[in-house]
């Protein structure tokens, strides 16, 4: 079933007085009187959300009742399209609220989210378990071969039918109350998990002897771990990061125990032996066995390389502190130290050439060379925060969409980087194209009074990565909202983002955008060569910690029987089973692993590796052609971006590449094979 809400971000407790809100004053109850119908952020107050959610649910319920009460025989138009375009107000308020709850959060937003979560869960279940609605959808689906539908219409019909089945339409009536209860509990728990991580992250600040402050935001935490010579201080700050949400007031361990078992029970009700089986049935991977096979094929060469790195850093530590054993809090310090010695390069040398604006313009330049897009900053358009920058995206004389870019940490913003949308591209029933309003959010160190924000190279790749997601949304050219843009299987959605990193790191492209923030000098060839030579450095660690997290995710959701789970013991046991060395931990330890307990990557974190195979293989086509901006290849890849989920994703990939993907390009890129 098409989920109209970002339940994973949802939250709990009515705002006082919201029931008395005058509907005429609520900006959600009329069209946005703004350029491009951008949400009128300046008019939206916290007290507007709950009435808008309530009204949105009421309107969609009436629309669903009209479909089920229609005395005419079910057709594609009066059932499938009527359902597809229902709930517009609910989509509008959800698109604003849940996006802002992640980057403009507050106690009031938390309270609204906590209050609305069970309401939205129940509303979705009322639709998913509506037997009259499903009967009409099934009637149309059973007639699909005789209806003369075009390919996109047939795809919508098939995805709608399958979505209802996956959402519980076939759950026996006797089990439906429990099924509803499970959905509500899961939604509430994922919210509490996310809130705990945000609060625990913001709760820690370490003032250093020199007066600097270390927080648990990665842009400040990681440079500290790379540069601090005080081993005891490194250990303290590492534990603050790695031990978050294990006990105390922000404990997530009990939530994990409950959440994993609830998801298993729900999968069983739906007829699947595990939650992973349920999730993957709707993905390219299809089965847990395929995922494990993919991950383990790369695990062995990655772990072997990581062991070589460990031995090297152990020797360096032994020189500094004879008899000391390498620990996780030592790894980044000695890795960075060796990087500086071996490659004569460190972040301090690199950052001046990767000012935030230069990297952003580099991403824009690549999009222009590949797809002919231009990006013009608009300071006159509505925005939700003074730090959020707004760009009009154009193709020739036509506006393609609006792009918001929000780059720096705030206490109200969750950590990490992501792309989302305030509104997705689609066409209305009368054929009018609705342009997308896309948002990219990052957490890069802020500029200072005398220096712009300077990125390290990993952060530069992060910007290109999220911008790749943005292009997927901006270039969407689909009819139906549920099939448009990034609404594709999770193990395909990372391809457009990860492939963009290849242009970021390519020496030819770096020469185009990386300029010294003070002199304007293009990055020297010698430094480009050092960066290029360093691309395979540390890949043992980077790949091993990523794969460890992916395998941990699969292990949680491959359990077949309800059981008590101590997440710390579970993690330790399963990391030992795959041979993870103690000097490395999973990229995310369980109590703050938001991808799999909050943001929708449960049994799906593997997709970063799955699509890394695709992205390396895809970029190899450009490299082999001798033109990184090959017009014919760019045209074919743009078709992949434009198509959303209107075509089977692997068919789109084969149409671009002309063959099935191979892992060889990825293994070569990481230096695991020649």
DSSP line for 423-456:
E--EE-TT-PEEPPEEEEE--PPPPBTTB--B--
Of 265, 461, 466, 501, the active-site residue reads: 466
- R_g of the chain computed on alpha carbons: 25
Give the residue from 304, 298, 159 showing the smallest Cα distance to 613.
298
HSE-up (13 A, CA, CB side) for residue 106: 10
Q: CB neighbours of 404 closer than 8 A, spacing ≥ 6?
A: 383, 384, 388, 389, 390, 391, 422, 437, 438, 439, 440
Give the residue from 342, 340, 333, 341 showing the smallest Cα distance to 314.
333
User: Which DSSP helix (H) or strand (E) runs through 375?
Assistant: strand 373-377
Q: Exposed/middle/buried for 209, CB within 10 Å: 0-12, 13-18, 19+?
A: exposed
Is 605:550 a contact under the CB 8 Å cutoff? Answer: yes
Is 506:528 a contact under the CB 8 Å cutoff? Answer: no
CA distance linking residue 653 with residue 125, whole number of Å: 34
Told to judge if 466 belongs to the known catalytic residues of this protein, a careful annotator would answer: yes
User: Which DSSP helix (H) or strand (E) runs through 291?
Assistant: helix 288-320
CA distance linking residue 342 with residue 345, whole number of Å: 8
Give the residue from 539, 421, 548 showing the smallest Cα distance to 487.
421
Is 194:114 a contact under the CB 8 Å cutoff? Answer: no
Pairing of strands 426-427, 433-434: antiparallel
CA distance linking residue 413 with residue 39, whole number of Å: 20
How many other CB atoms are there within 10 angstroms of residue 298's CB atom? 22
Q: Exposed/middle/buried for 255, CB within 10 Å: 0-12, 13-18, 19+?
A: buried
How many other CB atoms are there within 10 angstroms of residue 313's CB atom? 20
Angle formed by the axes of helices 288-320 and 539-557, nearest 10°: 140
List Cα–Cα distances, 197 to 78, 249, 417, in angstroms: 45, 11, 15
Give the residue from 3, 181, 157, 5 showing the smallest Cα distance to 80.
157
In degrees, rounded to 5, the angle at the alpha carbon of residue 214 between the alpha carbons of residues 212 and 220 is: 105
Q: CB neighbours of 378 closer than 8 A, spacing ≥ 6?
A: 390, 391, 392, 402
Q: Is 671 strand, coil or helix?
A: coil
Is 355:455 a contact under the CB 8 Å cutoff? Answer: yes
Distance of CA 63 to the CA centre of its chain: 31
Residues serving a catalytic function are 466
């Amino acid at each position: 079933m098409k989920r109209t809400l970002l339940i994973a971000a949802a939250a709990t407790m009515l705002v006082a007085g919201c029931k008395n809100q005058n509907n005429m004053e609520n900006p959600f109850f009329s069209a946005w009187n703004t350029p491009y119908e951008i949400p009128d952020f300046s008019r939206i107050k916290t007290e507007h959300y709950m009435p808008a959610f309530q009204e949105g649910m009421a309107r969609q319920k009436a629309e669903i009742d009209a479909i089920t009460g229609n005395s005419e025989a079910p057709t594609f138009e009066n059932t499938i399209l009527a359902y597809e375009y229902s709930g517009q107000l609910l989509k509008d308020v959800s698109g604003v609220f849940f996006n802002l709850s992640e980057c403009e959060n507050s106690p009031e937003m938390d309270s609204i989210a906590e209050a609305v979560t069970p309401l939205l869960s129940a509303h979705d279940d009322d639709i998913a378990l509506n037997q009259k609605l499903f009967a009409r959808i099934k009637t149309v689906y059973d007639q699909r071969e005789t209806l003369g539908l075009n390919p996109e219409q047939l795809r919508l019909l098939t995805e709608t039918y399958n979505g209802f089945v996956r959402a519980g339409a076939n759950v026996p009536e006797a089990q439906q109350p429990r099924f509803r209860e499970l959905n509500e509990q899961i939604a509430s728990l994922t919210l509490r998990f996310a809130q705990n991580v945000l609060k625990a992250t913001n709760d820690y600040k370490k003032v250093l002897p020199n007066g600097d402050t270390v927080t648990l935001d990665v842009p400040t935490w990681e440079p500290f771990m790379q540069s601090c010579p005080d081993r005891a201080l490194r250990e303290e700050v590492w534990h603050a990061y790695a031990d978050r949400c294990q006990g105390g007031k922000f404990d997530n361990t009990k939530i994990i125990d409950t959440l994993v078992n609830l998801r298993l029970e729900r999968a069983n009700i739906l007829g699947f032996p595990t939650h992973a089986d349920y999730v993957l049935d709707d993905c390219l991977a299809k089965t847990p066995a395929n995922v494990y096979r993919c991950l383990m094929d790369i695990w062995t060469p990655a772990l072997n390389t990581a062991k070589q790195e460990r031995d090297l850093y152990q020797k360096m530590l032994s020189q500094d502190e004879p008899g000391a054993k390498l620990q996780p809090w030592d790894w980044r310090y000695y890795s960075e130290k060796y990087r500086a010695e071996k490659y004569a390069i460190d972040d301090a040398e690199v950052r001046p050439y990767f000012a935030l604006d230069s990297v952003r313009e580099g991403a824009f330049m690549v999009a222009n060379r590949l797809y002919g897009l231009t990006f013009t900053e608009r300071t006159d358009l509505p925005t939700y925060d003074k730090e959020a920058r707004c760009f009009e995206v154009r193709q020739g004389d036509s506006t393609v969409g609006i792009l918001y870019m929000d780059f720096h940490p705030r206490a109200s913003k969750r950590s990490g980087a992501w792309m989302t949308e305030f509104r997705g591209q689609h066409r209305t029933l009368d054929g009018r194209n609705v342009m997308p309003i896309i948002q990219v959010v990052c957490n890069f160190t802020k500029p200072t009074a005398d220096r712009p924000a300077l990125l390290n190279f990993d952060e530069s790749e992060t910007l290109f990565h999220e911008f790749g997601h943005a292009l997927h949304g901006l270039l969407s050219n689909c009819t139906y909202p549920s099939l448009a843009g990034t609404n594709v299987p999770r193990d395909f959605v990372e391809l457009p983002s990860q492939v963009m990193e290849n242009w970021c790191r390519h020496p030819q492209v770096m020469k185009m955008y990386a300029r010294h923030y003070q002199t304007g000098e293009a990055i020297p060839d010698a430094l480009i060569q050092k960066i290029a030579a360093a691309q395979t450095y540390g890949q043992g660690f980077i790949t091993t910690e990523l794969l460890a997290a992916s395998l941990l995710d699969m292990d949680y959701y491959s359990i077949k029987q309800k059981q008590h789970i101590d997440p710390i013991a579970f993690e330790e046991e399963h990391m030992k089973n795959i041979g993870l060395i103690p000097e490395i931990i999973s990229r995310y330890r369980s109590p703050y692993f938001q991808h799999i307990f909050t943001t929708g990557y449960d049994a799906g974190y593997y997709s970063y590796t799955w699509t890394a195979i695709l992205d390396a293989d895809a970029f190899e086509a450009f490299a082999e052609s001798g033109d990184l901006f090959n017009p014919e290849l760019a045209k074919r890849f743009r078709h992949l971006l434009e198509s959303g989920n209107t075509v089977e994703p692997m068919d789109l990939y084969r149409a671009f590449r002309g063959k099935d993907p191979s892992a060889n390009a990825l293994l070569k890129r990481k230096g695991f094979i020649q």
